[in-house]
Structure 1
């Protein structure tokens, strides 16, 4: 599995940690920035990740900003993107299981490193259940 990861300035440190975490598990990680704590605009990074995922359907994304709200709103504007803002492992698990989320959004100012790690672990370990949920995903895609 390939992960495309990006953050704004507020999420830079958590992004660096989670990138290393993914690499330690053997995942291919493409870091789209930001590469320091200088102020940037989160919609630019959400757009880059969404555009890559539109081409690489098997990849998944991770977007991090201060609260995760801005990144999730910006990413969900793109066709085929199902970005889920998660605050715990349970919501991350269900975002994959029921919603086939392809981007995990996190708030660096909301969750600590340990919680973020458990959220990411649930996200990467959970597969889409399909079944009755597939019909719902089709409705989202055609809305």
Structure 2
């Protein structure tokens, strides 16, 4: 799979570890930055991640910041992206199965490396369930009234 990963300064170390983990699993990984722990603004990296997922350059995205909240909001500003903030494998699997999430967000200050890897494994190994969920997912990309 082609996976893009991006973070803010608070999650640079987690991003580096997850990038290497994904490569070890055989995935093609695009690291969208940042490269250092110098202060940056998470929306810039969330928007960049959303752009490459929306245009098909990457099949999935991994968004990381201190809490995971801010960068997930930034990614979700793009109507082609469905970014789920997760903290354990069940929420990661349900994000794929029920919501057809194409991005996953985690907080480096809240999620350890082993749990983050478990979330990634669950997310990447779960297929969208379709069926009764398909119409709801379609509504997520339609402007609200």
TM-score by length of 2: 0.96
Counterpart of 1:65 in structure 2 is: 65
CA–CA separation in structure 2 for the residues paired with 1:53 and 1:112: 25
Instruction: Quote the residue 2:15 is aligned against.
Output: 15
* Residue 58 of structure 1, CA deviation: 6.1
What residue in structure 2 maps to residue 24 of structure 1?
Answer: 24
Question: What SS does the corresponding residue of 1:19 show, helix, strand or coil?
Answer: helix
Unaligned ranges ≥5, structure 2: none
Secondary structure of the structure 2 residue equivalent to 1:98: helix
Unaligned runs of 5+ in 1: none
Specify the alignment match of 2:40 in structure 1: 40
CA RMSD of aligned residues (A): 1.0
54-63 or 34-43, which deviates more: 54-63
Match for residue 125 of structure 2? 125
For 1:26 and 1:123, locate their aligned partners in 2 and report how far apart those are by CA, in whole Å: 16
Q: Is the Cα contact below 8 Å between 2:4 and 2:58 reproduced in 1?
A: no
Corresponding residue for 1:112? Answer: 112
Give the conservation status (yes or no) of the 8 Å contact 2:52–2:58: no
Instruction: Report how many aligned residue pairs link the two structures.
Output: 143
Structure-1-length-normalised TM-score: 0.97
- The structure 1 segments of at least 4 consecutive aligned residues displaced by more than 2 Å after TM superposition are none
Deviation, 1:123, is 0.6
